[in-house]
Chain A
Amino acid sequence: MTQTSDAIEARTASQTTIVLDGTEVPFCDGETLYEISRRHRKEVPTLCYDDRLDAFGACRLCVVEVDGFRNPVASCTTKATPGMVVRSTSETLERHRKTLMELVVSENTGGSARNGNIDVDPLRGLKSQELSNLATRYEVDGTRFAGATSGKSRQDDGNPFILRDYDKCISCYRCVRVCAEREGDYAISVMNRGFHTQITTEFDSKLEDSACTFCGQCVQTCPTGALADRKALRDAETPGELKKTRTVCPYCGVGCSVDMLSKGDKIVGIHPAMDGPANQGALCIKGQYAFDFIQHPDRLQTPMIRASNGQLVPATWDEALDRAAAGFLAANRDHGRHSIYAIASGRAPHESAYSVQKFIRAGFASNHVDNCSRA
């Protein structure tokens, strides 16, 4: 108890204030102007920011005015100091932000209408709407600052998971940073410089020949859809509204939260949940991409039982359950309760996993139960 209140006291003691848009607001040691602004629901735009990553300071949209500084400062990389007087918006700032948006959109449109170039299917990825949303907010139609376009899509990279559509890339390097800082895979990097920067891998290879583990983290942080979820895009034309259902990935013991995407009855993709307590937006290849089996045509449609000749033949549920019950009872009778051991599949829903352990514990008074995803 004392420890907690001490800690709170220490924190309050180190807490001082800045003036944000005319109001005095407290902050904690180490907080950036962007973090404080967001806490106070200021709508400071960003494109290179992902709160899980080290602030990078590339897009410059987050600039704010601070008294005593000649130029606006990037709020994402500027830590608050006591007494700072900060404006998160002003006519000048909004003008710079609009110019920046026009510049960045022109990188993809070259000066033609924004449609198609930056307005992308949300199935591309979790954050794929960031650029087009901001372009709408700043009323950028794509036609100002005509000129060369940057980034070259890797049409040749035919891996089944990640579309590398760099024509839509704005070089925010969130993908490179998430791969390094969150995944620790260092599979991708920045090649060349200036307007010619391009996301690459070792020797500019395909992803499957690189250190990539296909975790999909880069796809899900990409603010433009330049990196896109190829599997989800299979259902771009499938009718129906896109629905999100929060669940937990069953594959392993970490328990990553995910949002399952569906259209009608069809599961079309997975988004990592940024607020998942176990994963905070992280996933691995299985949680991200391995869901096809659920609605796969090869799945059994009816129970199967083994005939006397050893062949599996279709059966009714009653037949199958009777056969299984008989087997369990015989084993229990002949060899005792510890002869029974159940392993639930990581591909089964959590509800099934729960039923299996209940069945073994309540039905046979045994704790011999496990799950293949205990890892």
Chain B
Amino acid sequence: MRTPNEPAPLLPLLHAYHDRDGMLTDDALREISATLKIPLADLYGTVTFYHFFAREPGGRDAPRVCDGPICKLKGCDGMLDALAAEGAKPMPCAGRCDEPIPVLRGGEVLTGLSVDDLRVRPTPLPPAYPGDDEECVFAHIREPGRATLDGYRANGGYTALESALRDASPGAVIETIEASGLAGRGGAGFPTGRKWRAVADAAGSPKTIVCNADEGEPGCFKDRAIMDYDPHAIIEGMVLAGFATGAERGFIYLRYEYPKTLEILERAIAEAESAGMLGDDIAGTDTEFRLYVRRGAGAYICGEETSLLNSLEGKHPFPRNRPPFPVTHGFEDLPTAVNNVETLASVAPILRNGAEWYRGLGRGEHAGTKLISLSGDIQRPGNYEVPIGLPLRTLLDDWAGGPQPGRSIQAVTMAGLSGGFLGGEDLDATLDEPSLRGKGSFLGAGGIMVFDDTRDMLEVAHGAMRFFAHESCGKCFPCRIGTQRLTERLARDAGPAALDAWREEVADIGATMKATSACGLGMAAPLITESLLRYFPDAVRAHFGD
């Protein structure tokens, strides 16, 4: 936080004390409570919600070792043991599944396959484009210096903003985005133009644009690639969103596991400000837009947009009841557009090249492209920009080199973990929502984790459910209790000893979670057990020794 009177002050204040003292002391909480007039009991409860905030001396600097689904395959348990003397703790998927195991230590992310191998490695660039189609978001990302203002400007950067501000109306920008078919890339796939129109039409100001950079979905690391190598694309997209909707302030809500990305964003924002692309009188017009970065503190649910808004506002980050939706009642109850990093990074290229161009990037009926974070048992993991509608097999086998020699692919996850597994013949799906929804899954944020025929799918499913249980906010009954019960059943810690009764319990819990949970987490979690039973009944039977 650069000045004390900026909006959304709680998280920056907590981080500042946490960094200064290596923990959050009672005194720090008392001071913050008095300064921000947050009741102490509320503040205390809220701090315990965020797993990064330590309440014991030195807790901030204890190493956090990723124990996400892919790092499990890479041996994170050994890393945790090796760092046990330093007080190492596990953290859920830290968004580096295409790299060695990430360890966050003292405000820095190291990666390595063993303790001796730990060092700072830069975010991998997306592999050279393997396709015959055309990229949108990644079109220029591999150019050296792209993250700087000059590098960004070298290939048309900020020209979309400049010409929109000078020559176009907000309505025209919204029309182009609507016509392009761009839909949310953060998971829910809501049409972006329609969201912006709702914010533009909503009464009340100031309005807000929130860039959702929480990227908490296991198996997803595409947003970090954009932020690290093309940060100005996000800034340009956000200012355009502000212009289109009438919003004059924006936040980037960044997961704490990306400390280097924070520096990169701060630097890009400062550059954009000095170049007149942020602040007052942008590009010499009377448009203004102020941009702030806020860091999360270790809670997957804070990527859910209403939980995120509560988190920004300094409230307990339970998701809100909808309606009303953020487009009318968002940040501080005022109209707000929450958009994913990838969505926002698509905006300037669409305005530069036109709606038709973007629509045409997809295969067949499908409009546009989608970034896929691909990881696990695959020869060339990494971020790929696929035309929507690309066959999954093409991505896996042709683009990414297929499984390791002599292996075959047993299952992939979809939407990170939220779409459950695909296996068997359903690996013939195409990468678009109609195809995937038809198979009981969805594309979502675009994380695909690959498991070959050597993997124990029950163990993978157990790890996945443990993640959802760990991250359930605890607000609604079906998810709070259901994720726990399903985790126990997958571990066989509790529950029926007989297979049929076990199946029935798992199915009943799953059906009720899907139908009655209050947010996407609780609705998605049972896709894990549902797809496990669908594709791997033999593995389940073997689990019972049958």
B42 interface contact, C-beta 8 A: yes
Q: Is the CB of A210 within 8 A of B41?
A: yes
Please provide the chain B residues from 19 to 46 with a CB less than 8 Å away from any CB of chain A in the complex: 26, 29, 39-46
**With A58-B518, A111-B494 as contacts: A186 and B44 at CB distance below 8 Å:** no
B316 contacts A by Cβ under 8 Å: yes
Does any Cβ of A come within 8 Å of B48's Cβ? yes
CB nearest to B519 among chain A residues: A57
Q: Is the Cβ of B40 less than 8 Å from the Cβ of A194?
A: no
B321 at interface (Cβ–Cβ under 8 A)? Answer: yes
Return the contact of A194 from the options B316, B469, B509, B518 (Cβ within 8 A). Answer: B469
**Bitwise interface map of B from 177 to 212 toward A, beta carbon under 8 Å scored 1, else 0:** 000000000000000000000000000000000000
Interface residues of A in 69-117 (CB under 8 A from B): 71-72, 74, 77, 79, 92, 95-96, 99-100, 103-104, 106-107, 111
Say if the beta carbon of B482 comes within 8 Å of chain A: yes
Which B residues, 453 to 473, have Cβ-Cβ distances below 8 Å to chain A? 469-473
Kindly state the separation between the CA atoms of A20 and B505 in the bound complex, as whole angstroms.
Answer: 32
- When chains A and B are docked, how far (Å) is the Cα of A90 from the Cα of B537? 31
Is there a chain A Cβ closer than 8 Å to B512's Cβ?
A: yes
Please give the distance in Å from A11's CB to the nearest CB on chain B.
23
Contact of B515 among A57, A61, A71, A210 (CB under 8 A): A71
| Pick from A111, A146, A196: contact of B474, CB under 8 Å | A196
Chain B nearest Cβ from A200, distance in angstroms: 6
B474 touches A171 (CB 8 A): yes
* A103 proximity list for chain B (CB < 8 A): 477-478, 481-482, 485, 509, 512
Whether the pair A146, B494 counts as a contact (CB closer than 8 A) is yes
| Interface check B86, CB cutoff 8 A | no
Q: Are B44 and A197 in contact (CB under 8 A)?
A: no
Across the interface, do A192 and B482 meet the contact criterion of CB distance under 8 Å? no
**Closest chain A CB from B464 CB (angstroms):** 15
Q: Which residues of B contact A104 (CB under 8 A)?
A: 477, 481
Main secondary structure of the interface of B (DSSP, over half): helix
Q: What are the residues of chain B within 8 A of A193 when measuring CB–CB?
A: 48-49, 299, 301, 471-474
Q: How far is the CA of A96 from the CA of B473 in the complex (A)?
A: 21
Does B294 reach chain A (CB closer than 8 Å)? no
A145 adjacent to chain B (CB < 8 Å): yes
User: Do B45 and A99 touch (CB < 8 A)?
Assistant: no
Complexed CA–CA distance, A71 and B475 (Å): 18
State whether the Cβ of A202 lies closer than 8 Å to any Cβ in chain B.
yes
Determine the chain A residues whose CB is within 8 A of the CB of B478 once the complex forms. Answer: 60, 100, 103
A194 and B321 contact, CB distance less than 8 A: no
- State whether the Cβ of B516 lies closer than 8 Å to any Cβ in chain A: yes
A77 partner, pick from B321, B488, B515, beta carbons under 8 A: B321
- Contact partners of A61 in chain B: CB under 8 A: 477
Question: B508 within 8 Å of A by Cβ?
Answer: yes
With known contacts A99-B509, A196-B474, A191–B516 Cβ distance under 8 A: no
Q: Which of A148-204 contact B (CB under 8 A)?
A: 148, 150, 170-171, 173, 180, 186-197, 200-204
Name the distance in Å between B220's Cβ and chain A's nearest Cβ: 21
Docked Cα-Cα span, A147 to B42, in Å, equals 30
Q: Is the CB of B476 within 8 A of A211?
A: no
Whether the Cβ atoms of B41 and A194 lie closer than 8 Å is no
Whole-angstrom CA separation of A60 from B44 in the bound complex: 27
Q: Which residues of B contact A60 (CB under 8 A)?
A: 476-478, 516-518
Chain A residues with CB under 8 A of B482: 103
Is A55 on the interface with B (CB-CB < 8 A)?
A: yes
Contact in complex: A195, B45 (CB < 8 Å): no
A193 to B45: give the CA distance in the assembly, Å: 9
B493 within 8 A of A: yes
Interface membership of B484, Cβ < 8 A: yes
A100 contacts across to B, CB distance below 8 A: 477-478, 512, 516
Closest to B38 in A: A186
Q: Does A59 contact B (CB under 8 A)?
A: yes
B391 within 8 A of A: no
B517 A194 Cβ-Cβ under 8 A: no
CA distance A58 to B40 in the complex (A): 24
Bound Cα distance A92, B508 (Å): 11
Q: How far is the CB of A154 from chain B (nearest CB, A)?
A: 14
A144 in the interface (beta carbon within 8 A): yes
B328 to chain A, nearest CB (A): 13
Residues from chain A with Cβ under 8 Å of B470 in the complex? 194
Q: Are B508 and A99 touching (Cβ within 8 A)?
A: yes
Task: Name the B residues within 8 Å of A211 (CB-CB).
Answer: 39-41
User: Which among B45, B478, B485, B509 has the highest number of chain A CB atoms within 10 Å?
Assistant: B45
Nearest B residue to A62, CB-CB = B516
Which residues of chain B come closer than 8 Å to A202, judged between CB atoms?
40-41, 43-44
B321 touches A57 (CB 8 A): yes
Kindly provide the distance from the CB of A169 to the nearest chain B CB, expressed in whole angstroms.
Answer: 12
Question: For residue B316, which residues in chain A have a CB less than 8 angstroms away from its CB?
Answer: 189-190
Complex: chain B residue closest to A144, CB-CB: B505
Q: Which one of A55, A59, A204 lies within 8 Å of B477 (CB-CB)?
A: A59
Q: B483: CB under 8 A from chain A? A: yes
Task: Say yes or no for B480: interface residue by CB 8 A criterion.
Answer: yes
Task: Contacts A103-B477, A103-B481, A103-B485 given; indicate if A71 touches B516 (C-beta within 8 A).
Answer: yes
Determine if A222 is an interface residue (Cβ-Cβ < 8 Å): no
Which chain B positions have C-beta within 8 A of A196?
A: 474
* B477 touching A195, Cβ below 8 Å: no
Task: Check if A58 sits within 8 Å of B476, measured CB to CB.
Answer: yes
Contacts of A186 in B (CB 8 A): 39, 41-42
Beta-carbon contact of A195 and B512 below 8 Å: no
User: Shortest distance in angstroms between B388's beta carbon and chain A's nearest beta carbon?
Assistant: 23
Tell whether A63 is near chain B: CB-to-CB under 8 Å: yes
CB distance from A99 to the nearest CB of B (A): 4
Say whether B516 contacts A147, CB under 8 Å.
Answer: no
Report the bound CA distance from A189 to B299 in whole Å: 18
* Interface membership of B495, Cβ < 8 A: yes
Whether A197 and B512, one on each chain, are in contact in the complex, defined by CB atoms closer than 8 angstroms, is: no
Nearest residue (CB) in A for B478 is: A60
What are the interface flags for A2-14 relative to B under an 8 Å C-beta threshold, 1 for contact and 0 otherwise? 0000000000000
The CA of A100 and the CA of B512, in the complex, are separated in Å by 7
Tell me if A57 and B518 are in contact (CB < 8 A): yes
- Chain B residues with CB under 8 Å of A192's CB are 48-49, 474
Determine the chain B residues whose CB is within 8 A of the CB of A107 once the complex forms: 481
- Which residues from B are CB-within-8-Å of A71? 514-516, 523
| Contact between chains at A191 and B44 (CB < 8 Å) | yes
Contacts A57-B518, A96-B516, A190-B316 hold; do A203 and B476 have CB atoms under 8 A apart? no
Bound form: Cα–Cα A106–B39 in Å: 33
List of A residues within 8 angstroms of B515 by Cβ: 63, 71-72, 92, 96
Q: Are A148 and B40 in contact (CB under 8 A)?
A: no
Interface string of B37-76 (1 = CB under 8 A from A): 0011111111011000000000000000000000000000
Q: Do the beta carbons of A147 and B509 come within 8 Å of each other?
A: no
Give the docked Cα–Cα distance between A170 and B485 (Å).
Answer: 15
CA A55 – CA B316 in complex, angstroms?
16
Which of B499-515 touch A at CB < 8 Å?
505, 508-509, 511-512, 514-515
Q: Which residues on the B side are within 8 Å of A106 (C-beta)?
A: 481, 485
Within the assembled complex, what's the spacing in Å between the Cα atoms of A144 and B482?
12
> Contact at B512–A99, with CB atoms within 8 Å?
yes
CB of A178 to closest CB in B, whole Å = 14
Shortest 9 CB-CB contacts between residues of A and residues of B? A189-B45, A186-B39, A197-B474, A194-B472, A202-B40, A147-B494, A195-B484, A99-B512, A60-B516
Interface contacts beyond A47-B477, A195-B474: sample of 20 additional A-B pairs, CB < 8 Å, sorted by A: A57-B476, A71-B523, A92-B515, A96-B511, A96-B512, A99-B511, A100-B478, A100-B512, A103-B478, A103-B509, A147-B494, A170-B477, A188-B41, A189-B316, A194-B480, A202-B40, A202-B41, A202-B44, A203-B40, A211-B39
Instruction: State the A residues within 8 Å of B (CB).
Output: 47, 55-61, 63, 71-72, 74, 77, 79, 92, 95-96, 99-100, 103-104, 106-107, 111, 144-148, 150, 170-171, 173, 180, 186-197, 200-204, 210-211
18 A-B residue contacts at CB 8 Å?
A56-B475, A58-B475, A60-B477, A60-B518, A77-B321, A95-B508, A95-B512, A99-B511, A103-B477, A103-B509, A104-B477, A189-B39, A189-B42, A189-B44, A193-B472, A194-B469, A202-B41, A203-B44
